[in-house]
């Protein structure tokens, strides 16, 4: 599965504006997820701003099952089928294991 990201000056930027209204953010998230799931190769354009992309491959996992950004514009964070949450750290670091979900947590 692939995620699409905007490249700007060699740095990867994901489709997220920090101070947008929740409804707009949800709308953007749904648009991004639908393009990821459908593997749509057309350019994704949100409010006429996002046009150039690079595909970022997830490392040997099934997913993403969900995608989120934090309030500081970090991420994206993706949930994958084995219960892990991965966080994008940019190039050259790529994806790191951010958290592991478990139904047997004690806290």
Q: For residue 76, say if its preceding peptide bond is cis, omega within 30 degrees of 0.
A: yes
Query: What's the pLDDT at 47?
Result: 55
Rounded distance, CA 29 to CA 36, Å? 10
Q: Write the pLDDT tens digit of every residue in 67-80.
A: 888 888 788 888 88
**CA–CA separation, 8 and 59 (whole Å):** 23
Region 3-25: mean pLDDT is 44
Q: How far apart are CA 64 and CA 76, in angstroms?
A: 11
**How far apart (Å, rounded) are the C-alpha atoms in residues 106 and 82?**
19
pLDDT digits (tens, 9 = 90+) for 15-27: 443 333 444 555 5
Taking CA atoms, 87 is separated from 16, 24, 48, 63, 106, in Å, by: 15, 22, 27, 13, 24
What's the predicted TM-score (pTM) here? 0.50
**Mean pLDDT, residues 25-49 taken together:** 52
Q: Please give the Cα distance from 79 to 49 (Å, whole number).
A: 27
Structure confidence at residue 69 (pLDDT): 83
Tell whether the model's pLDDT for residue 45 goes beyond 80. Answer: no
Phi, psi angle pair for 61, to nearest 5°: -130, 165
Do 74 and 86 contact (CB within 8 A), yes or no? no
Of residues 16 and 98, the one with the higher pLDDT is 98
Q: Could you tell me the pLDDT band of residue 104, with boundaries at 50, 70 and 90?
A: low
């Amino acid at each position: 599965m692939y995620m699409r990201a905007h490249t700007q000056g060699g740095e990867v930027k994901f489709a997220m504006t920090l101070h947008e209204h929740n409804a707009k953010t949800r709308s953007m998230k749904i648009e991004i997820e639908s393009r990821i799931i459908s593997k749509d190769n057309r350019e994704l354009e949100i409010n006429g701003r996002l046009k150039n992309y690079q595909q970022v491959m997830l490392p040997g996992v099934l997913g993403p099952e969900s995608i989120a950004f934090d309030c500081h514009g970090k991420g994206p964070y993706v949930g994958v089928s084995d219960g892990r949450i991965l966080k994008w750290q940019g190039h050259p670091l790529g994806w790191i294991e951010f958290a592991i979900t478990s139904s047997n947590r004690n806290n």
